[in-house]
Structure 1
Amino acid sequence: MTFTNDDKSKKRLRHEADAWVRLLASGRATDEDARALQRWRAQGPMHRAAFEDAKRLWRDFGPAGERLIAQAAANAARPTGPRMNRRAFLGGMAAAASVAGVALLAEHPLLGGWTPISEWGADYRTATGEQRTVRLREDVVLAMNTQTSIEVQRQDGRIDGMTLLAGEAAIDAMTATGGLFRISSGAGRITAELPARLEVRRVGERTCVTCLRGRVAVQLGDQQRTLAARYQVDYGEDGLQAVRAIEPEQVSAWRDGVIVFRNTPLPDAISEINRYRRGRVMLVDKALEGRSVSGRFPITRMDLAITQIQQAFSARVTTLPGDIVLLG
């Protein structure tokens, strides 16, 4: 059998793409590795296609495959220094298991120190607690909140949109003189008529779109909503919801380095806290699930929010290795 240079090139790219996927799945990838991957993908469409094929292969494993990746990453990240004594280790593990079980890493992959498969193709990413500003082009500025992954979209060599893979982003295009900026998030499509200022948030399979200036169209299947300034809509598996008015100061508080809770259900507040701190806060007392919390907290001091919750509801706090906090 004779192999052409094209065949050899494709085979080499497949091997290189697989090596990148294995590095990312190991949990040992650094920021420099991420930049090197972007340079490798930027070499041409064949490189990007090979990487997508390699990702697809991992994704085809399904939840079982992702659990294996998470476990492998956890093993790779395990410290090699002095170990805690056996009684303390077993006691901590028993407490955690009674609440969350061994599925913790599978349910919350960031605890294992690895990036979810769906975010491997990101052009820009922020870590837990990190915020970042990127100028996508001369008239479009992107502000990224914590745990956010973005993939840019180009047409004729010019950035004309983006895909929000996860997290929260603010798009400021008030200096633009016209045109459209398109955003994909989950199954929905968002189109901003420039000039405009908007925010898009995606947590899990739910997306929330807020128009701060200008006009924004949101489409999910055959459903569509048009947002004017100071209005918001969200969508998910239950479809595209009704448009509602918002207070920009509360929605955009994260850009000032704070999060604001106003009669926020406690489970929702804890989910938000978990976006800004490493580890995981877990509500283990079912009786507290119906409570709500109010307050304004610096995103760099989530411990203050945990302390207020503890004091307000006389909750017991148990701290476990890995910055895991059991609240109940």
Structure 2
Amino acid sequence: MPMTEEREQSPSLREEAARWLVRLRSGEATADDRRRLNNWLAEDPSHRQEFGRVSGMWTNMTGAKPLFETELRKAETRWAEYASTSEPAAGQSWWSPARMVAAGALMGLITLTTLWWVNGVTESLHYQTAKGEQRQLTLSDGSSVMMNTNTQMTVEFSSKTRAIRLDQGEAWFTVAQDGRRPFEVEVANGIIHDIGTQFIVSKSSQQVEVSVLDGIVEVALHPPVARHAILHRGQRVSYGMDGWISEVGPFDQITAGAWKDGKLIFKGHPLAQVLNELARYRTEEIRLLDNSLKDVPVTGVFNIRELENSLELLQDALPIRAQRVNANLIIVERASPSTTAPRSRTR
């Protein structure tokens, strides 16, 4: 059946263009098919315009594929169903029911792409890590995110924006260049605007810390505070939930980013801070009972994947004693100088 006869049954010109695209992409198009396509394109300028539009939409789908994985899997199934069918006999239409279904699957993808690309529809994806877990992500724009322990974030990408909301925890961002879509990370009452860079964002219950490893970022607090800071490589700034923002200053890049390589490095850090950091990677609470110990300096390197030994190492180096109370609590107190009995293990 000629393509012009089938056209009366086509719901729209776009579907007809999509059917031709399916035929060309199938790898089964014959010389006669191409001749008929050329005739169809020559019939009316609108045919050429619509075929060009549908082809362009399919090409643009490449950048949006991570947002439509489910739909793509369905379409691939349809391709497999009709790809194995036999070539129609002479005089018969190539448009079998299976192939028509495949064209419909393609049309569904094109419709989704149109909404995403033209109207800027946002797709939201939520990611999280458990305590002690780290996760490497590659986003649809080519940017990468290394999520540290106990972290939650939401990625919202559209054709116009790239936005991430960090709800808790810590993440290392390596941002891919995209002049059309700004890259922003919202954390609590502030937004980090990337200007082509690598940076680390850490959110605790009291403050947010932004550290730039490469490039430039702008940190802007929400109104009515409306304060902001520009950070360059090797600079850090902190801000609080009540609107304060620190001065921009330097930081130790090796120490700050060591967790990405599976290590925690401390250089004279107060014991209380060290215990808090270790607790981020453990399911138990670590509670320091003796407040006079909180500022005792700690220097050392701990392997994140072997943190079970961390408290034993601290007990060997400092005048402290760690004791497990139950499955959810470990207490740390000052060790008695006269204590000679072996310390109980805390694992």
TM-score, structure 2 normalization: 0.56
Q: Which amino acid aligns with 1:149?
A: Q
- 1:137–1:159 CA contact under 8 A, matched in 2: no
Residue correspondence of structure 1 range 254-293 to structure 2 within 5 A: 254-293=259-298
Alignment counterpart, residue 193 of structure 2, candidates 191, 201, 214: 191
Does the Cα contact within 8 Å between 2:155 and 2:163 map onto a contact in 1? yes
Amino acid at match of 1:139: G
In the alignment, what sits opposite 1:245? 250
Distance in 2 between residues matched to 1:249 and 1:161, nearest whole Å = 28
Alpha-carbon distance in 2 for matches of 1:267, 1:170? 24
Structure 2 SS opposite 1:240:
coil
Q: Does 1:133 align with 2:130?
A: no
Deviation at 1:206, TM superposition (A): 0.9
**RMSD of equivalent CA atoms:** 2.3
Q: 1:316 to 1:247 in 2, by over 3 A?
A: closer
Mapped partners of 1:238, 1:309: distance in 2 = 37
1:222 pairs, out of 216, 220, 226, with: 226
Between 276-285 and 297-306, report the one with greater CA deviation. Answer: 297-306
**What is the letter of the counterpart of residue 202 of structure 1?**
K
Q: Partner of 2:280: helix, strand, or coil?
A: helix
- Quick one: distance in 1 between partners of 2:295 and 2:254? 26
2: distance between equivalents of 1:312 and 1:249? 23
Counterpart Cα distance in 2 of 1:122 and 1:277: 26
Correspondent of 1:311 among 313, 316, 328: 316
Q: CA deviation at 1:311?
A: 2.3
Letter in structure 1 aligned against 2:136: T
Name the CA distance, whole Å, in 1 between partners of 2:182 and 2:253.
23
Asked whether the 8 Å contact 1:260–1:295 carries over to 2, the reply is yes
From the superposition, tell whether residues 238 and 273 of structure 1 become closer, same or farther in structure 2 (CA, over 3 Å): farther
Q: Is 1:212 paired with 2:217? A: no
- Structure 1 residues 39-54: aligned runs within 5 Å: none
Give identity over the alignment, percent: 26
Deviation at residue 302 of structure 1 after TM alignment: 2.0
CA distance in 2 between counterparts of 1:226 and 1:167 reads 23
Alpha-carbon deviation of 1:292? 1.7
Instruction: State the shift of 1:305 in Å.
Output: 2.5
Of residues 161, 164, 187 in structure 2, which corresponds to 1:162?
A: 164
Query: Runs of 5+ in structure 1 lacking a partner?
Result: 1-38, 43-120
- Which structure is higher in RCO with an 8 Å CA cutoff and minimum separation 6? 1
Relative distance call for 1:302 and 1:323 in structure 2 (3 A) is farther
How many aligned residue pairs are there? Answer: 208
- In structure 2, what is the equivalent of residue 144 of structure 1? 147
2:327 is paired with a residue whose SS is coil
Unaligned stretches of 5+ residues in structure 2: 1-66, 71-123, 334-347
